[in-house]
Structures are given as structure tokens and as C-alpha cells.
Amino acid sequence: MTEPIRITAPAGVAPAAQYSHVVAATGRLVAVSGQLALDEDGELVGPGDPAAQARQVFENLSRCLAAAGAGFEHVVKLTYFVTDMAHMPAVRAARTAHISDDRLPASSAIQVAGLVSPDFLMEIEALAVLPETGSTA
């Protein structure tokens, strides 16, 4: 796989500051289900604390990506489900700890009425593209 192509300002579209409008890549697709702020024992991390929950969610995403042989450098799309858009600065700070501003994936942020439990403030899913190796994991 060559480096994904990231386009932040396609012709006729306002430039994106916090994401890339378009990311194109070829290779093996890795889909990571929405991750919640749960530790390895299934306990909620950071009740009522969006920053703590965002950090845990990104740690979980990192572990899931690693299980597929991927890392954040392979992520081409993130989808954020938040119970309040006011949590997005915490989400962006956690993302920045894992993804540099020059490698921003395509993204969507959706405010939802609730998640699987009212204690969860966010859920984040990822799509990554790995180089094709000719074998399966």
C-alpha cells in the first residue's frame, strides 16, 4: 500500500480543519466496532469525565487495531457518536495523542440521544486499510 491520499479541501468544498474530507487508499480493510470507555475488565473508565472516557476509547481502538496488525497510521475513517457535542474537544485531544494533524482521517461526528448505557458519553469506530500481503490474519 502506498501512503493514503488525504484531501482536506476538494475543489468547491470548504477546507477541513479537524479532519480530511477524502482519504483514498488501497489494501486490506480493517473495521473496528464502536469502542466504549471500558477497561479490560469491562468496567467504565471516567464516569462523567469526557476526557478520561475519550482517552480510554482511543486506547481500546489502539488495541483493536493492533490485534489486526494495524495502527493509527492505517486509519482512514473515524466515526464519533457523542451524547453531547461539547465532548468533541476532549475527543480531539485524545485523537491528537494518537494521530498527528498531517495524517487526519476522514471523520463524521454524530450527536446521539444515548448509547447502550447512560454512563457512556461516546462511542468511536474506525476503518483502517492495511497493505495487502497475500495472506489472511
pLDDT tens digit sequence for 80-105: 999 999 999 999 999 999 999 999 99
pLDDT at 118: 97
* Block residue for cell numbers 497493505: 131
Can you tell me the mean pLDDT for 112-124? 98
* Block residue for cell numbers 495472506: 135
The yes-or-no verdict on residue 67 having pLDDT over 70 is yes
For the CA atoms of the chain, what is the radius of gyration? Answer: 15
CB contact at 8 A, 64 and 101: no
Share of residues in the chain with pLDDT > 70 (%): 96
- pLDDT-based confidence at 134, cuts 50/70/90? low
The yes-or-no verdict on residue 137 having pLDDT over 50 is no
CA distance 120 to 117: 6
CA distance 19 to 6: 9
Question: Could you report the per-residue pLDDT of 101-114, keeping only the tens digit for each?
Answer: 999 999 999 999 99
* Nearest partner of 46 among 125, 134, 131, 119, judged by Cα: 119
Q: Strands of 106-111's sheet, edge to edge?
A: 28-35, 122-130, 75-82, 106-111
* Nearest partner of 82 among 114, 48, 129, 127, judged by Cα: 114
Can you tell me the mean pLDDT for 16-21? 92
Residues in the chain: 137
pLDDT at 131: 84
Q: What is the DSSP letter of 113?
A: S
